[in-house]
């Protein structure tokens, strides 16, 4: 079984579990053993799923400005949590492949495995919600047909992205590619680098 064959059903499970109650404030009930890669994949997609609905809510033209500001703060925190989870998943890959002998002509990829997996997690959400649109009973046939075309493209993208991720992991295992992970230095979250924040510390 490839990595994406393990990961994608976990993403689908997290999405389906969230939509049982469809509430941004519901607590996560992770069914996997804490510390396992499955556990972190579930958390990763849960964060993405909750944030998806944050983004829906904040675009409500009738939203109260105070509520919108509170939600924006939650989105900022969610983005940081998402980044932290990606780096944690990359740490998993770094650990399991730390003893691989890298070939002299090995090359580096433009993104780490975990950032590619991040895209797969978000793609799973796009597929879920586009399928919802295709099946909407109150939507026009034209709308559903348009969404079906988009869904077809997303499903093809899932196939291609999964293949690319699995190929990258196979190349790392074979020493043909090597990992080099850079921490995401989000300056706007850092009171020492965001000028709006550090001006209050003077």
> What tens digit of pLDDT does each residue of 138-167 get?
999 999 999 999 999 999 999 999 999 999
* The dihedral sign for the CA sequence 127, 130, 135, 137: positive
Q: In the predicted model, what is the mean pLDDT of residues 81-92?
A: 95
Instruction: Read off the tokens for 130.
Output: 């586009």
Instruction: Read off the tokens for 187.
Output: 């300056």
C-beta separation of 179 from 148 below 8 A: no
Nearest to 99 by CA among 153, 3, 18, 179: 179
How many angstroms separate the CA atoms of 56 and 122, rounded? 15
Look at residue 181 in the predicted model and tell me its pLDDT.
78
Look at residue 180 in the predicted model and tell me its pLDDT.
84
- Predicted confidence (pLDDT) at residue 50 exceeds the cutoff of 70: yes
- Dump pLDDT digits (tens) for 12-44: 999 999 999 999 999 999 999 999 999 999 999
- Predicted confidence (pLDDT) at residue 99 exceeds the cutoff of 80: yes
- Predicted confidence (pLDDT) at residue 60 exceeds the cutoff of 80: yes
| Global pTM value | 0.91
Look at residue 197 in the predicted model and tell me its pLDDT.
63
Q: Which residue has the tokens 């499903």?
A: 155
C-beta separation of 39 from 30 below 8 A: yes
Which residues 6+ apart lie within 8 Å of 6 measured at CB? 38
Residue ranges of the domains in the chain?
3-185
């Amino acid at each position: 079984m490839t990595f994406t064959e393990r990961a994608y059903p976990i993403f689908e499970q997290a999405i389906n579990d969230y939509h049982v109650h469809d509430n941004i404030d519901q607590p996560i009930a992770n069914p996997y053993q804490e510390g396992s890669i499955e556990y972190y994949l579930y958390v990763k997609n849960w964060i993405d799923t909750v944030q998806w609905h944050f983004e829906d809510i904040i675009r409500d033209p009738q939203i109260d400005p105070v509520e919108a500001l509170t939600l924006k703060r939650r989105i900022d925190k969610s983005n940081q949590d998402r980044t932290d989870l990606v780096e944690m998943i990359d740490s998993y890959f770094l650990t399991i492949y730390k003893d691989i002998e890298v070939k002299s002509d090995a090359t580096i990829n433009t993104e780490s495995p975990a950032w590619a997996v991040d895209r797969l997690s978000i793609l799973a959400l796009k597929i879920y919600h586009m399928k919802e649109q295709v099946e909407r009973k109150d939507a026009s046939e034209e709308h559903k047909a348009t969404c079906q075309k988009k869904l077809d493209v997303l499903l093809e993208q899932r196939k291609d992205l999964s293949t690319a991720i699995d190929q990258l992991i196979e190349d790392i295992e074979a020493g043909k590619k090597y990992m080099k992970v850079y921490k995401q230095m989000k300056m706007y979250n850092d009171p020492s680098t965001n000028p709006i924040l550090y001006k209050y510390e003077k």
